[in-house]
Structure 1
Amino acid sequence: MRILRSLLTFTIFLLLACCKETPKSDARQDDSNLVINERAKGRIDSVLKAFVDSGNIAGVSALIFEKDKEVYFNAFGDADREAKKPMDRHTIVQIYSMTKPITGTALMTLYEEGKFDLDDPVAKYAPEFANMKVYVGEDADGNPILEETNRPITIRDLTRHTAGFGNADNSKLGKLIAKADALNRNNTLEKMAEIMGKTPLLFHPGEQWQYGPSVDVQAFMVERISGQPYGDYVREHVLDPLGMQQTRYLIPENDRHRFAALYRRTGEGILERDTVTYGNYTKPWPLTRGGSGLTSTIDDYMRFAQMLVHRGTIDSVQILRPETVELMATNQLADSVTERHFLPSKGQVGFGIDFAVRVAPPSSSEENNGVVGEFFWDGAASTLFWVDPKNELTAVLFVQLFPYDPIGLHKSFRDAVYGPIESNQ
């Protein structure tokens, strides 16, 4: 298996190198100042096709805008192999954590209205979180030992994953979190918050970066502060104004033929169709999560990315002010936050308000490629998007692959867009 994967990686490297060296014709010299020139398009096509041909993904699509123009779109493979439905720009996919930046945007519309300050305690609006405790171990009888938090959880903590919330897979208190089951889809956001307020934290607020349910609490805060159900609020203040009618929690029956299958990779070139997640999107559930749960099309999500690269406005519709987008795209993590879960695997990044933020160029060719100042996030099914303000570039990559990117797809796609890292140093 390692040998086959190494061969695929080597093949992609050769494709990148080959496309990099292809001379431009006279007719194409006017694209020399663009990131996505003809050579880049060739690299991207070759890389994405290679992953499909290897059998490690069923289908993939990519859409890139640069300087207000669509400069790349292509799709390879199938959205549904069994039904022989090709991947295309109308395919609906599960975006998982790419829901999070949309939720953060909804929250920040309330911030702009003066409804809260980022350093306000969450408990000011949600007394459910007024008496949080931190798990520090167990006594001789196996009972949890808890202590008072050093300070309250703030809304800023929610937006940058420093609140202290753990996950069911945390070795320390995972059993307590699993038993509490706050994110059960049959809970409302209010019930979720009630349960989480009684569940111990993994660490004191502000001390670590731990990816978890903070953005689900953001959705609850939107609901609590606005007085409007979260699903209605995000639809009214973000999705509909952007024209994102295809971005939904529930896929109506007449659109389900466009819904991509999700595949689990169990070995080199071996994919098994997932049968678990489909029902999450074909029936209504009480829990409208902020951290996951939306489906989208590649053009819909590009509308969101284009709004961000235009600093909050698209087609004369303003969602956020420029200074708010700048704040969201600014690293909010102090150097003292040294425990950062998996964040270092994303490259030389910090974290802003619901985005990773690149703070330095790649330090080696092994890291994810990118440009300082870009902000981005991805999803559990291996989807990805980023905003590159320096080049006025936005990219969206759609695929439906579990577990999260086990094949280096994101790294290869970024290298195809910008060229191999060694050429930038």
Structure 2
Amino acid sequence: MRHYLLISLCLILSACSISVTEHRLPYDANTNAVANKNQGFSKGRLQNIDTKMQRYIDEGKLAGISTLVARNGEIVHDSTLGMQDREAGLELQKDTIFRIYSMTKPVTAVAALQLWEQGKFHMNDPIAWYIPELANLKVYVSGSGDDMVLEDANAPIRIIDLFMHTAGFSYGFTGSEVDNLYRASPMTQGKVKAEDVMSELAKLPLNHQPGTQWHYGVNTDVIGALVERLSGMKLGEYMQKNIFVPLRMTDTGFSVAPDKAHRLAQIYSSDKNGNTIPMENEPLGDFLSDPEVHNGGGGLVSTMDDYLTFAQMLLNGGEINGVRILGRKTVEYMTSNHLPADLVPYAANSLGEGYGLAVSVTVDEGQSRFLSSEGNFGWGGAASTYFRVDPKENLIIIGMAQFVPIGTHRYHDDLRNLVYQALID
């Protein structure tokens, strides 16, 4: 069984061929595109994106990068640079399949919000009402080993705490005493059955009292378990029926079909000398067979076109191509900041950023260190996938690469600024 927590690694939260085209989105969306075919962008300035992305490839940092920009329902930049598999000499393609890891989180949030719209739960409901294993959790206070001091939780974990990463769960990525317990857990090591995952999670102490801090962890994985219990379906089965098939996201799922395996990109990391090399023992295994646990926090694979469709659905307020996935107000709720002022920014390196339901949200563009708009939202994945949606500019930005961990080579920071600097109207 694939490691349940390691998959969420993203989450803390080729030479090459170049293909640049302008064309319509991969569906018949009526998005009121204006007559200007450049949609307010300078073509010359957009070329700065490829120039900078090519540099990451030429320097041997990233094997391949796919970037896309859409505005007013029109794709204005669509580029594939470099290699899908550098060692095999396979060029990156428009239909290359990527491990999106934590970009799974917004998809899982949408799945849960569909059930919320049906009255299956309320945001302030304790999660223990639906997953009894998570009742009576303990909170870490101090110490380690046999001398570890724990206390009772002052309040139950609410479902909205899971959406916002304020529940107190962790991922096991740091050297903290709590994370040491996560790494030693049979759950983390993939030694428990799917039906026992929540019981194993309940044995671990919370990092903090529920609702008092933002701490990235397995919260969306628990949301995925909630979807399964409320729907009676495995998470991937629910997503297939209620999201992927309606939106025609034909290449998105928790594994890659055998006839599509040749399209799955090689994943890379660094050796001890900082050289980019193929990664061994990648998080969640090889993605070539259906996992026992469908990890809602980071288990999906997808393509650029599929994720564009998902992002455009959010930008459209829950609807695309005549198919409505969520209500408009539900999307507004999902993509609004829900953190109190004392928890903004949610992380020290994310100035100006609040947090919605499974996405970060810019609340102060003056504090942000990037060109931006207040209200733009998005997230990234452990293997260097990235997306942002800007409702104010009617804009979508997506970047896809396959290097763990994200943030080693911060092409996505450059991508964000290079897109906004190209806006002239």
Q: Give the direction of change, closer, same or farther, for the CA distance of 1:36–1:189 in structure 2 (3 Å limit).
A: farther
1:152 and 2:156 correspond = yes
Counterpart of 2:332 in structure 1 is 326
Deviations 1:346-386 (A, max 9, x none): 3411000000001111437xx23321111100001111011
2:421 corresponds, among 415, 419, 422, to 419
1:88 and 2:90 correspond = no
Structure 1 gap ranges (5+):
1-29
Deviations 1:106-140 (A, max 9, x none): 0000000011100101011111111111011237x
What percent identity do the matched residue pairs reach? Answer: 35
Residue 143 of structure 1 deviates from its aligned partner by 3.4
| Alignment map for 1:2-401 (pairs within 5 Å) | 31=36, 34-138=39-143, 142-170=146-174, 171-185=176-190, 187-266=192-271, 270-277=275-282, 279-337=285-343, 340=346, 343-363=347-367, 367-401=369-403
Q: Give the direction of change, closer, same or farther, for the CA distance of 1:307–1:184 in structure 2 (3 Å limit).
A: farther
Residue 267 of structure 1 deviates from its aligned partner by 7.9
How many Å separate the matches in 2 of 1:334 and 1:182? 32
Q: Give the direction of change, closer, same or farther, for the CA distance of 1:405–1:176 in structure 2 (3 Å limit).
A: closer
How many Å separate the matches in 2 of 1:269 and 1:203? 35
Q: Give the direction of change, closer, same or farther, for the CA distance of 1:241–1:91 in structure 2 (3 Å limit).
A: same
How many Å separate the matches in 1 of 2:188 and 2:320? 34
How many Å separate the matches in 2 of 1:399 and 1:36? 24
How many Å separate the matches in 1 of 2:272 and 2:365? 33
**In structure 2, the residue corresponding to 1:49 is in which secondary structure?**
helix
The structure in which a higher percent of residues are helix is 1
How many Å separate the matches in 2 of 1:93 and 1:34? 28
Residue 157 of structure 1 deviates from its aligned partner by 0.2
How many Å separate the matches in 1 of 2:311 and 2:265? 22
Q: Name whichever of 354-363 and 152-161 sits farther off.
A: 354-363
Deviations 1:243-293 (A, max 9, x none): 111011111222111111111134898311112228430123211100011
**In structure 2, the residue corresponding to 1:264 is in which secondary structure?**
strand
How many Å separate the matches in 2 of 1:214 and 1:35? 39
How many residues matched?
Answer: 389
Task: Tell me the C-alpha RMSD between the 2 structures.
Answer: 2.3
Q: Give the direction of change, closer, same or farther, for the CA distance of 1:46–1:338 in structure 2 (3 Å limit).
A: closer
**In structure 2, the residue corresponding to 1:76 is in which secondary structure?**
strand
Residue 230 of structure 1 deviates from its aligned partner by 1.5
Structure 2 gap ranges (5+):
1-34
Asked whether the equivalents of residues 362 and 373 of structure 2 are also in contact (C-alpha less than 8 Å), the reply is yes
Of structures 1 and 2, the larger Rg is shown by: 1
1:402 corresponds, among 382, 386, 404, to 404
Q: TM-score, length-normalised on structure 1? A: 0.86
How many Å separate the matches in 1 of 2:68 and 2:293? 31
Q: Give the direction of change, closer, same or farther, for the CA distance of 1:266–1:334 in structure 2 (3 Å limit).
A: same
Asked whether the equivalents of residues 261 and 400 of structure 1 are also in contact (C-alpha less than 8 Å), the reply is yes
How many Å separate the matches in 2 of 1:186 and 1:59? 34
Q: TM-score, length-normalised on structure 2? A: 0.86
Asked whether the equivalents of residues 42 and 422 of structure 2 are also in contact (C-alpha less than 8 Å), the reply is no
How many Å separate the matches in 1 of 2:370 and 2:411? 10
Deviations 1:302-329 (A, max 9, x none): 0100100000000011100000000001
How many Å separate the matches in 1 of 2:344 and 2:414? 28
Amino acid in structure 2 at the alignment position of 1:137: S
Asked whether the equivalents of residues 137 and 206 of structure 2 are also in contact (C-alpha less than 8 Å), the reply is yes
**In structure 1, the residue corresponding to 2:342 is in which secondary structure?**
coil
Q: Give the direction of change, closer, same or farther, for the CA distance of 1:420–1:136 in structure 2 (3 Å limit).
A: farther
Asked whether the equivalents of residues 133 and 147 of structure 1 are also in contact (C-alpha less than 8 Å), the reply is yes
How many Å separate the matches in 2 of 1:68 and 1:376? 18
Amino acid in structure 2 at the alignment position of 1:395: I
How many Å separate the matches in 2 of 1:349 and 1:268? 34
How many Å separate the matches in 2 of 1:246 and 1:215? 22
Amino acid in structure 2 at the alignment position of 1:392: N
How many Å separate the matches in 1 of 2:285 and 2:71? 36
